[in-house]
């Protein structure tokens, strides 16, 4: 055996030994990185998402963010030209590239639930209204799908549930106040949340049939905490009437908002 | 050789030359097998060699790209603008560092052979592993300096853009307040204003961005070592470049093979051993992918950076050792 061949063999043995040894160093490090949310947890995903994620990782190497940004610019161009379906389709790919970037999910939701729905011309003819409402609700539902997708990757992000609450309270026809209240409650329970989601949950509960007492208790507690915005007072006034709260227990303020 | 000649050759130098003063510096300094100063000389030579190849011209492209991105998309929301700027800048840094690591390193040995510099160096008492180490460090210095330039430019542009966006947003709220003074009493409006400004700051210049830049540098360092190893046995530069690009791509999916191999899943034909082979042969570049997390606002732990740096040192050490063995008796 020549010296060169012998050295080649030694190099090969070094690489194989190192390769085998480092697997046991790298695997816990990789698991730790998933636990700390540097990468999405592919193990907990559904098959479709998992294939998408793993494929993207392998195929695009370290350039996922760059590709995502280029696609975001393309989506913007589609949006600018009023091609909402293309823009939304682009965003379904972008969110696979950067699943932990809330902004991408949010943008996809905006394009679908707000911009696309605004592009539907309200029909003068009453016969066409049902079709209009169906198309409108489909677009809002796709927006909600973006937020539900985001919730899989960012389960503790209050903004996701806040947006879902808003879609159910303001966008769907007719509004689903009970679901909106539930989402606002989830937003209020998230870490680093904003205080207004707590009272938003109360407003939505007040509109949800059968939940008036719960709404009253929540808003009364808000009021007692010295948070006395116009909407809080207005809803309390309405609930006091509806629930026949004794005069002595009612709040002294009367809202000008009807 | 007769007896007299043998005695003279074995005698101390001063006896042979008739010189009896203090030992001459050149003679007293024994040749060492490992010399940091020799390696440093080779490092600087490699750096200068690459600089003379006008590699820094790429900085013009980088500057143009990020300035364009920073000021072109004026109709985006502030957060979207900053995110796009960071994505593109870090992506471009990663791309340029990768190109340097692969193309630059692939050229090193063939260029030295073509210029005959390799023979001039190796005919002197310079061990081949020192030559390789010098080449590797030269490339690392080059990548590090390029990244310093890119990082400085990137931070400046992000910082300036963030300040402009914060000012514009605050002005917009102030104008609204001037138009509707009653909003000054509205707590929700005030919260909204603070939230909007905080969102911009959150997407702006943060220390965690430096962690992403460092991870890009570490990944490029491993890529340099891999390319150097390939170039020690490759017969053409094209082969080195193509093989290294293949390693780079497979390296990003290596973790899939490793997880499958270590999962203990029941063996299904050749799949698990194949996954094991991929995991053993290829480096794991996915470990360095923290750019997405950083751009999304995740904080990077110091321990992670230390682990990443330690892993990189290990890669560099092992790949350079393997390259030295391959190169040590290679016919040049």
Residue A25 domain-assigned (yes or no)? yes
The answer to whether the Cβ–Cβ distance between A63 and B326 falls below 8 Å is: no
Q: Which of residues 121-150 of B touch A (CB under 8 A)?
A: none
pLDDT value at residue B7:
44
Domain annotation covers residue A44 = no
Range of the domain at A30: 1-36
Residue A54 is predicted with a pLDDT of 57
Same domain, A22 and A70: no
User: Mapping DSSP to helix (H, G, I), strand (E, B) and coil, where does residue A61 land?
Assistant: helix
Within this chain, do residues A28 and A69 fall inside the same structural domain, yes or no? no
Give tens-digit pLDDT for A127-163.
888 889 999 999 999 999 999 999 988 889 999 999 9
pLDDT higher than threshold 50 for residue B330: yes
- What pLDDT does A248 receive? 86
Q: pLDDT digits over B160-177, tens only?
A: 989 998 998 889 888 888
CB pairs A-B closer than 8 Å: 166
Are both A23 and A72 inside the same structural domain?
no
What does the pLDDT average to over B221-245? 92
- Interchain CB distance below 8 Å, A4 and B330: yes
Give how many domains chain A has, as a whole number: 2
Closest CA to B286 of B321, B313, B259: B259
State how far Cα B296 lies from the chain centre: 23
How high is the pLDDT of residue B10? 44
Average pLDDT, chain B: 83
For an interface test with B, which of A22, A44, A62 has the most B Cβ atoms less than 10 Å from its Cβ?
A62
pLDDT category, A60, cuts 50, 70, 90?
Answer: low
A25 with A65, same domain? no
Q: Considering the domain boundaries, does residue A122 fall inside one? A: yes
**Looking at the structure, do residues A20 and A145 belong to the same domain, yes or no?**
no
pLDDT tens, position by position, A82-127: 899 999 999 998 888 888 888 899 999 999 999 999 988 888 888 8
Do A7 and B328 count as a contact with CB atoms less than 8 A apart? yes
The per-residue b/e assignment along B12-50, b for 16 or more CB within 10 angstroms, e otherwise, is eeeeeeeeeeeeeeeeeeeeeeeeeebbeebbebbbebb
Q: Does residue A41 form part of some domain?
A: no
ipTM of the complex: 0.71
The per-residue DSSP string of B147-198 comes to: HHHHHHHHHHHHHHHHHHHHHHHHHHHHHHHHH-GGGGG-HHHHHHHHHHHH
Most confident of A28-32, A198-202, B9-13, B65-69: A198-202
Mean pLDDT of B230-239: 90
Whole-number pLDDT of residue A52: 57
B329: chain A residues, CB-CB within 8 Å: 2-4, 7
Residues of chain B in contact with residue A156, where contact means CB-CB under 8 angstroms, are none
Q: Output the CA–CA distances (angstroms, integers) from residue A251 to A116, A218, A225, B188, in the order listed.
A: 43, 14, 13, 22
Taking CA–CA distances from A4, the nearest residue in chain B reads B329
CATH number of the domain bearing residue A206: 1.25.40.10
Both A144 and A85 in a single domain?
yes
Residue bearing the bigger pLDDT, B13 or A57:
A57
* Chain A contact present for B330, CB below 8 A: yes
Q: Is B195 on the interface with A (CB under 8 A)?
A: yes
Q: Mean pLDDT lowest for which of A19-23, A245-249, B28-32?
A: B28-32
Q: Does B248 touch chain A (CB under 8 A)?
A: yes
Closest to A55 in 3D by CA, of A2, A83, A100, A93: A93
Q: How far apart are CA B100 and CA B106, in angstroms?
A: 9
* Domain ranges within chain B, ordered by starting residue: 33-328
**Residues A15 and A127 grouped into a single domain:** no
Q: Do A229 and B259 touch (CB under 8 A)?
A: no
In this predicted model, what pLDDT tens digit does every residue of B38-87 receive, in sequence order? 899 999 999 998 888 887 787 778 877 777 777 776 567 888 888 888 88
| Residue A89 is assigned to a structural domain of this protein | yes
Residue A58 pLDDT? 52
Q: Which of A120-124, A135-139, A166-170, B154-158 has the lowest mean pLDDT?
A: A120-124
The per-residue pLDDT of chain A, averaged, comes to 86
Judging by beta carbons within 10 Å of its beta carbon (0-12, 13-18, 19+), is residue B306 exposed, middle or buried?
A: exposed
Residue A42 lies in a domain: no
**Interchain proximity A4–B76, CB inside 8 Å:** no
What are the chain A neighbours of B304 within 8 Å (beta carbons)?
Answer: 32-33, 36, 38
- Chain B, window 1-60: residues with a beta carbon less than 8 angstroms from a chain A beta carbon: none
Same domain, A230 and A129: yes
Question: Is a pLDDT exceeding 80 seen at residue A46?
Answer: no
A257 domain-assigned: no
Over residues B236-244, the mean pLDDT reads: 92
Q: Choose the weakest-confidence range: B100-104, B198-202, B215-219.
A: B198-202
Residue A155 within any structural domain of the chain: yes
Question: Per the CB < 8 Å rule, is A33 touching B287?
Answer: yes
CA nearest to A10 within chain B: B325
Same domain assignment for residues A103 and A8: no
């Amino acid at each position: 055996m020549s010296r060169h061949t012998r050295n080649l063999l030694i190099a090969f043995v070094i690489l194989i030994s190192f390769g085998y040894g480092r697997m046991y160093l790298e695997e816990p490090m990789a698991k730790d990185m998933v636990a700390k949310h540097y990468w999405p947890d592919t193990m907990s995903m559904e098959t479709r998402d998992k294939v998408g994620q793993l494929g993207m990782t392998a195929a695009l190497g370290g350039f996922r963010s760059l590709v995502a940004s280029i696609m975001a610019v393309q989506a913007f161009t589609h949006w600018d030209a009023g091609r909402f379906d293309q823009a939304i389709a682009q965003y379904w790919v972008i969110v696979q590239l950067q699943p932990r970037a809330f902004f991408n999910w949010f943008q996809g939701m905006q394009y679908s639930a707000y911009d696309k729905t605004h592009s539907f011309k309200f029909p003068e003819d009453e016969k066409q209204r049902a079709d209009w409402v169906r198309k409108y609700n489909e677009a809002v539902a796709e927006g909600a799908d973006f937020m539900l997708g985001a919730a899989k990757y960012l389960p503790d992000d209050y903004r996701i549930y806040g947006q879902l609450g808003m879609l159910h309270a303001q966008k769907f026809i007719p509004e689903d106040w009970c679901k909106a209240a539930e989402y606002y409650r989830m937003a209020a329970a998230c870490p680093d949340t904003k205080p207004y989601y707590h009272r938003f949950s109360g407003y939505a509960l007040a509109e949800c049939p059968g939940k008036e007492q719960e709404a009253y208790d929540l808003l009364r507690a808000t009021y007692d905490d010295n948070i006395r915005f116009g909407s809080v007072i207005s809803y309390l006034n309405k609930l006091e009437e509806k629930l026949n709260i004794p005069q002595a227990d009612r709040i002294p303020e009367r809202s000008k908002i009807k | 050789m007769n007896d007299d000649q043998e005695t003279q050759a074995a005698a101390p130098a001063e006896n042979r030359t008739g010189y009896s003063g203090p030992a001459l510096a050149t003679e007293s300094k024994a040749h060492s097998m490992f010399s940091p100063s020799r390696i440093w000389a080779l490092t600087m030579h490699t750096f200068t060699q690459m600089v003379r190849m006008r590699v820094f011209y790429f900085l013009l492209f980088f500057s143009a790209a990020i300035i364009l991105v920073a000021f072109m998309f004026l109709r985006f929301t502030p957060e979207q603008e900053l995110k796009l700027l960071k994505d593109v800048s870090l992506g471009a840094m990663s791309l340029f560092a990768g190109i340097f690591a692969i193309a630059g390193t692939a050229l090193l040995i063939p260029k030295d052979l073509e210029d005959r510099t390799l023979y001039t160096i190796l005919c002197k008492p310079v061990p081949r592993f020192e030559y390789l180490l010098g080449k590797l460090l030269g490339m690392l210095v080059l990548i590090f300096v390029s990244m310093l330039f890119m990082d400085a430019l990137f931070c400046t542009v992000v910082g300036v853009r963030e300040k402009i966006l914060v000012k514009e947003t605050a002005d917009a709220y102030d104008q609204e307040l001037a138009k509707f003074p009653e909003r000054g009493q509205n707590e929700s409006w005030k919260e909204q204003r603070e939230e909007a400004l905080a969102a911009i700051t959150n997407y702006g210049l943060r220390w965690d961005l430096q962690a992403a830049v460092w991870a890009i540098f570490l990944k490029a360092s491993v890529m340099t070592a891999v390319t150097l190893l390939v170039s020690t046995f490759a017969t053409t530069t094209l082969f080195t470049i193509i093989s290294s690009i293949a390693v780079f791509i497979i390296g990003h999916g290596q973790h899939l093979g490793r997880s499958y191999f270590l999962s203990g899943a029941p063996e299904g034909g050749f799949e698990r051993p194949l996954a094991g082979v991929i995991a053993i042969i290829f480096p794991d570049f996915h470990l360095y992918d923290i750019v997405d997390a950083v751009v999304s606002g995740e904080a990077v732990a110091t321990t992670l950076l230390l682990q990443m740096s330690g892993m990189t040192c290990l890669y560099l050490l092992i790949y350079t050792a393997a390259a030295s063995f391959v190169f040590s008796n290679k016919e040049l």
